[in-house]
Structure 1
Amino acid sequence: MRVRWLGWAGVELEAEGESLVIDLLGEPEGVLEGTGLSAPLPTVTRPHTEGRVLAGLCTHLHRDHTDAAALARALRPGAPVLHPASFGGDDHENLWTLKADGELTQLGLPRRPMTAWETTGIGPFTIAAVPAVDGIGDPQLSWAVEAGGKRVIHLGDSMFHGYWWRAAHRHGPFDAVLTPVNGPALCFPHCQPASPRPAALDAEHAALAGRLLGAKAAIPIHYDGFHIDGVYGTRPDELSRYLDAAAAEEYEVLPLKPGEAVTV
């Protein structure tokens, strides 16, 4: 399986001449559109197989992980978008999912909501929806994908939780774990009082998650972008802090530049 980092949390998986994308982001500026906020934007790149992708997997319906326009360009006609099933609730609860959800609907992309531990096959890929925990309580899944005897898991921007061992037992061992590393502290208007705890895996938590998942290799994602003081707070040198935290682990760490790929 060929794993290509597309920047931020975006990943392209290729096997047997077919491909998937996970958490594709094409226009980072769209994440903050209409908020009045500005921030450093991550560097992103398009999938090599744009226009021919079998399916788009979204770990959750936040705009930086679900970019409907980018998915529309990437997917072949009729290809589905897989994402977590809704928890229900009103617009206040779902404030941070409304933009991405509305854009998917507006563009008429075929959608398949998935529940935890549900599995499906698309082309050469077996896809499993693994439970994950979102930093502000929105539905989130990790995606475990197998093709050609190789297995990877994409952790989206999950925070630390207790499903690691069950995921490894059911869907491991993992040839690669794609893990967020920036550990942001969030202060959003609909989630008050704010929590100072990391809303996604930080360096130390990401290093440990790789170990608990039985990773053979770990690929850091979800760093270098969107820092906003008092809203989305991250610490500097996110990648170097993760490399230090993972230095003593038995798995290999494979930092990539946007557009770079590795075969696992």
Structure 2
Amino acid sequence: MEIQKLNWAGIKLTSQGKTILIDAVEDFSYYKPVLGDAVEDLIQFSDWVEADYMLFTHLHLDHFDKSVIKKCLKKDGKLIVYSELEAFVRKYVEDVEMVVLNLDEAFIENGIIFKPVFAMDGVGEIQSSWIVEDQDTKIFHGGDTIWHNQFWKLGKENENIDYAFLPVNGVVVNFEVIGLEYSPVPASLNLKEAFAAAHLLHAKKLVPIHYGLFAHEKFYIPREFDEKDLERVSEEVGQEYVILKDGEVLV
């Protein structure tokens, strides 16, 4: 399996001659009032990527991009959807073949296994994590999950995870503009929680996602960290990690 980091939480997987996109987003403009401007250039990939399968963890527009689905999904491609999100997705996407799965239900095609598993969204909306596996590599994608009590269970039931893609920015959000009262509690995993979650998942490597690209001094306040923090927490928790920059490929 070849793995490429895309913008923010997005990744592109290539396996068995098939291309898989997870949380692939190119247009963040709708959330600009609360996320602010991207601090780095965004990767424009929709003109050249043709996906056989597309997955997303939830419907926040920094993880779910309708335009990417329209431009990148092949005519015979499949949108793989967690069942609790099916009704909502069908309102946004038409004329696309969907594979609808319940939590822990696997779909196998072309030697690739897809499975949604438990996750918990920071503002109470529906979310799943995804496990994707081929004969060589098994990855876990956690969207922007918060800390929850199922990481132990997920680690026991899903052995041999090679890479756990987990959010690390521990962001505090102030979304009163859309009707949510302010909370000082982070709405995604912070750095230490992500390392601990990867450790409980028994992942060989944590791959941090969902950090660095956006911040807003009033509405979207991430917890900052540097390379020394990564090294320190990795040693404290006993969990290895690898940093992938946007656009970088891990084989």
Deviations 1:198-241 (A, max 9, x none): 11110110111111010111111111123122321113336664
Q: Which residue in 2 is equivalent to 1:178?
A: 165
Question: Which residue of structure 2 aligns with residue 2 of structure 1?
Answer: 2
> Corresponding residue for 1:94?
none
Quote the offset at 1:113 in angstroms: 4.2
Calculate the TM-score normalised by the size of structure 2: 0.87
| Contact kept in structure 2, 1:227 and 1:234, CA below 8 Å | yes
- The residue that corresponds to 2:134 in the other structure is 147
Q: How does 1:69-218 map to 2 (within 5 A)?
A: 69-86=67-84, 104-105=92-93, 108-189=95-176, 190=178, 192-218=180-206
Rounded Cα–Cα distance in structure 1 between residues aligned with 2:157 and 2:35: 41
Amino acid at match of 1:134: D
TM-superposed CA distance for 1:49, in Å, is: 9.8
Partner residue, 1:57 = 55
Task: Give me the CA root mean square deviation.
Answer: 2.7
Deviates more, 1:47-56 or 1:202-211: 47-56
Cα distance in structure 2, aligned partners of 1:70 and 1:27 = 9
Number of the residue aligned with 1:226: 214
Q: Deviations over 1:76-98 (max 9, x none)?
A: 11322223334799xxxxxxxx8
SS of 2:67's partner is: helix
Percent of pairs identical after alignment? 25
Q: Which moved more, 1:145-154 or 1:228-237?
A: 228-237
Higher helix share: 2
Residue deviations 1:146-169 (CA, integer Å, cap 9, x gap): 101321100110000111122122
Q: Which runs of 5+ in 1 are unaligned?
A: 90-97
Partner of 1:68: 66
| CA deviation after TM superposition for structure 1 residue 243, in Å | 4.3
Separation in structure 2 between the aligned mates of residue 129 and residue 38 of structure 1, nearest angstrom: 27
State the TM-score, normalized to the length of structure 1. 0.83
Q: Distance in 2 between matches of 1:240 and 1:18?
A: 37
How much has 1:50 moved relative to structure 2? Answer: 4.2
Count of aligned residue pairs for this structure pair: 249
Structure 1 residue 13, shift from structure 2 partner: 1.0
- Pick from 26, 37, 45 the counterpart of residue 40 of structure 1: 37
Q: Aligned residue for 1:13? A: 13
CA contact (8 A) 1:220 1:239 kept: no
State how far apart, in whole Å, the 2-side matches of 1:69 and 1:247 are. Answer: 41
SS of residue paired to 2:75: coil
